[in-house]
Structure 1
């Protein structure tokens, strides 16, 4: 049931498939949404195609890797957010990342550096007494280093550790921080990859865990992925080395 909460959600990287589902679900729960992305044209099309209530959202231009623009972007927000979701992400194949640093650098900048740049600004603004939660979309790839995806995984591992420290930093202000540790999702970032179909989650399913995030720092959607997560955490290094 749509009930006006009077609260605002800022979604950074709002053009991802999961983020778009978050937009719909937050609006259904009565939130106003600030949807920020480099591709504002695609967001406008998404709003029109899905009959999203445009009066409940603003579409803003945001470039995760244009670090110098982040302070002005934040200062110019039409409303200071109660909830912030960092959903921007970039992925290149591990073999390509090993041979071409350009792709590696882009992953570092989007998945980690851009997040730290904008979230530091948001988190340290004590004048925003609205802020109550920051949610970052991380990955199972960042739990343990594996030879098939360790370059991408390293950027997500760094992001998760940043969020863990940020949670401690903001605890005295009663601001919650969550890390969504996510497995395979049926999204454009995974198109063309050979993935286990039984493990693939739909974007709207993952979005529910974001929109309904609770107090736990680590949130792992889907019981199968929870099992995989805990196995990865406890596996000895000798066995991790045998994984693909």
Structure 2
């Protein structure tokens, strides 16, 4: 019998390409999945197209930026999750973000505020003795401020710092918090962007690192991105300023 048969994972922002792969891979490991997104029709199509076990998937409507609905959403979950994954994300071009605050605000709300809102609710529910892990999808863009993407990057930097503190907060309850610090992925959020093809990861590859997350706080999939992450962390500001 699979040891995960009686465990449930809650995936928030489950309509992303990576999140959909997580659904497939968590099911393969024996988990039940609560898939939460604004686009429930797309999730239903995923179940049909991949012939997934519908009895193991509960699809729920979730809007990351409707903060007032988050407590009710959580209270109405069919079971208290063992794992919570925040995969919701939003991106607009940096030049647009600098000139149109609506795009900036949407990134702040989806990438950071919505995450803090729902994850605070999940983390502070001490009645949920099932909870063993919270995973947040962050980005290499949040490691250092660079002129090409610092508005988006700032939302991811804030999210990473939140997850770092949450990890400390929950350590006494033996709950692990992981931050997936991710580079370029072949997903709809990056469609149309000019990216280095040799650095692009596939959604199923990134999902594998989420589903198999262990104890380390920062998880950087792909050795090339690990090198880039390390360089970004130690690079002097004068050299960071020369990066695109």
TM-score (norm 1): 0.99
User: How far apart, in 2, do the equivalents of 1:105 and 1:210 lie?
Assistant: 27
Structure 2 residue runs of 5 or longer lacking an equivalent are none
Q: Could you say what secondary structure the match of 1:141 adopts? A: helix
Q: What is the match of residue 36 of structure 2? A: 36
Residue pairs, 1:101-120, within 5 angstroms:
101-120=101-120
In the TM superposition, what is the alpha-carbon distance from 1:3 to its structure 2 partner? Answer: 6.1
User: How far apart, in 2, do the equivalents of 1:131 and 1:26 lie?
Assistant: 16
User: How far apart, in 1, do the equivalents of 2:135 and 2:70 lie?
Assistant: 18
Q: Could you say what secondary structure the match of 2:134 adopts? A: strand
Q: 1:148 to 1:207 in 2, by over 3 A?
A: same
In the TM superposition, what is the alpha-carbon distance from 1:5 to its structure 2 partner? Answer: 2.5
Q: What is the match of residue 69 of structure 1? A: 69
Write the deviation string for residues 124-144 of structure 1: whole angstroms up to 9, x where unpaired. 000000000000000000000
Q: What is the match of residue 56 of structure 1? A: 56
Residue pairs, 1:156-195, within 5 angstroms:
156-195=156-195
Q: What is the match of residue 84 of structure 1? A: 84
Q: Could you say what secondary structure the match of 2:180 adopts? A: strand
Q: Could you say what secondary structure the match of 1:162 adopts? A: helix
Report how many aligned residue pairs link the two structures.
Answer: 244
Native 8 Å contact 1:2 1:27 kept in 2: no
User: How far apart, in 1, do the equivalents of 2:212 and 2:162 lie?
Assistant: 22
Q: Could you say what secondary structure the match of 2:79 adopts? A: coil
Q: Could you say what secondary structure the match of 1:193 adopts? A: coil
User: How far apart, in 1, do the equivalents of 2:14 and 2:59 lie?
Assistant: 9
Which contiguous aligned blocks of 4+ residues in structure 1 show a shift greater than 6 angstroms?
none
2:19 counterpart of 1:9: no
User: How far apart, in 2, do the equivalents of 1:5 and 1:46 lie?
Assistant: 21
Q: What is the match of residue 207 of structure 1? A: 207
Native 8 Å contact 1:141 1:156 kept in 2: yes
Q: Could you say what secondary structure the match of 2:125 adopts? A: coil
In the TM superposition, what is the alpha-carbon distance from 1:2 to its structure 2 partner? Answer: 6.2
Q: What is the match of residue 224 of structure 1? A: 224
Q: Could you say what secondary structure the match of 2:58 adopts? A: strand
In the TM superposition, what is the alpha-carbon distance from 1:4 to its structure 2 partner? Answer: 4.9
Write the deviation string for residues 137-160 of structure 1: whole angstroms up to 9, x where unpaired. 000000000000000000000000
In the TM superposition, what is the alpha-carbon distance from 1:46 to its structure 2 partner? Answer: 1.2
In the TM superposition, what is the alpha-carbon distance from 1:185 to its structure 2 partner? Answer: 0.2
Write the deviation string for residues 151-200 of structure 1: whole angstroms up to 9, x where unpaired. 00000000000000000000000000000000000000000000000000
